[in-house]
Amino acid sequence: MNMIAPIDTTHAVVPDASHPPAKRWTRWQKRSAILVPIAIAGVIGVKLFDHSDAVAAAPPPAPVTIATPLVRQISEWDDYVGRFAPSRSVEVRPRVAGEVTGVHFRDGEVVKQGQLLFTIDPRPFAAALAEARANEASARSALVLARTDLGRATRLIADDAVSAGEIDALRGKLQAAQAALAAAQARVRARALDVSFTQIRAPIGGRISDRRVDPGNQVAGGEGTGGTVLTTINALDPIYFTFDGSEALFLKTQRNRQPGAAAPAVEIQLQDETSHRWKGKLDFTDNGLDTHSGTIRGRAVLANPGLFLTPGMFGNMRLASAATKPALLVPDDAVQTDQARKILLTVDANNVVTPKPVTLGAVVDGMRVIRSGVGPNDRIIIKGTQMAMPGAKVAPTVGKIAVSGGADAPTTQPIAGEATLSGR
């Protein structure tokens, strides 16, 4: 029988609670104990190195170009929208009825006053004229006879060969013959007019529309609008520009107008143009405001020798509202937007950027009029506004503001919404 040998505890080591056993480190722990301080020292070194580089790489002041606002004399204008209209327009209608036998123009061409346009068959009217002339000849013969009879009877009065009653009757016949001749002559003139009306000529010069009837058609004649419309003619030189102005702009113009002054000048820009190249003057202002729209109708007149301007074309017109006056001008792209405000970036004596809110005016040849907010001695940043931060220092270079064109009294274009009008 196998017996388990008893354990010999004589030489066994019993741990002492007051002396814990020594800690044994593994190889990984020893390596970590060496690497961790090195890593910490490296991180500290990197931080110190990065900080020194950041200090060394601090950006220099932003380069900007500055200039004081340009002080110029300008003429302020108010903006209107309207359309061109012919200075005269005529509907060509026949005065007599008949058959159209000829058309003597090309559709859309420019015609001169008195130029032959249509011919109506003149034969019926020529026959009526011949009849009227025959009646005139008969009336003239009757007049000659009545005058002869009266003369013969007058010579017999001294011999008491005729009575006073017979003399009075002969005088009456003479007067009736004179009246008959006058009536016959009037009928001749009327029939001659009818013959002349068979040739329809241009009442005015201008550009003609297309023909409304062709040869062979019967047309109705008459006065006023009773006749058939054959075509229309528009006089284009000069040409009108009609527009509607608001009551506020009308009051402004009236207050600025001097008694006895010349008609205000106007300049018009077409839809595909970049400048107001068409010059004219105010020609007419209506005698009252429209009670429904609150606007007043106005009209300008322009020379149009080349007949380029055409009725119905839209245009943007500006009307001189006052005499020239001094104004501060800055480049329009120097104006910045700060939420709902418009500002200019200025540079003070210490070259620190200071934003200043401003009130804008019109545009003058690419320059913006500044009505308030800066003075003529303020140094405005005109280039480099993207790099200039409010409160930061900059490195300014002095520049100069110049208006293109070099006009002594440049004209202004209104701010959007400053003048709102509806064209007819």
- Sign of the C-alpha dihedral computed for residues 341, 343, 349 and 351 taken in this order: positive
Q: Which of 225-239, 257-271, 335-349 has the lowest mean pLDDT?
A: 257-271
Percent of the chain with pLDDT over 90: 45
How does pLDDT run across 167-224, given as a tens digit for each residue?
A: 888 889 899 999 999 999 999 999 999 999 999 999 999 999 999 999 999 999 988 7
Distance CA 262, CA 282 (A): 9
Distances (CA, A) of 29 to 35, 43, 195, 282, 306: 10, 21, 132, 100, 101
Res 9: pLDDT: 44
| pTM, to two decimals | 0.63
Residue 321 above 90 pLDDT? Answer: no
Residue 122 is predicted with a pLDDT of 95
**Max mean pLDDT range (2-6, 306-310, 320-324):** 306-310
**Crossing angle for the helix pair 123-155 and 164-197, to the nearest 10 degrees:** 160
124 has pLDDT over 90: yes
- SS3 category, 359: strand
Distance CA 282, CA 214 (A): 41
CATH class of 122-197: mainly alpha
* Closest C-alpha among 174, 191, 190 to residue 139: 174
- CATH class of domain segment(s) 64-76+325-398: mainly beta
CA angle 402/60/347 to nearest 5° reads 40
Give the pLDDT confidence score for residue 303 in this predicted structure.
94
Q: What are the structural domain ranges in the chain? A: 64-76+325-398, 122-197
pLDDT in tens, 42-82: 544 445 445 545 455 667 888 999 999 988 887 777 889 99
Question: Is pLDDT of 371 > 60?
Answer: yes
Residue position matching structure tokens 């509202």:
321
Taking the C-alpha atoms of residue 172 and residue 150, their distance in angstroms, rounded to an integer, is: 10
User: Are the C-beta atoms of residues 321 and 253 closer than 8 Å to each other?
Assistant: yes
| Mean pLDDT for the stretch of residues 90-94 | 95
- For residue 161, pLDDT over 90 is answered with no
Summarize the confidence of residues 356-375 as an average pLDDT: 85
pLDDT at 28 over 50: no
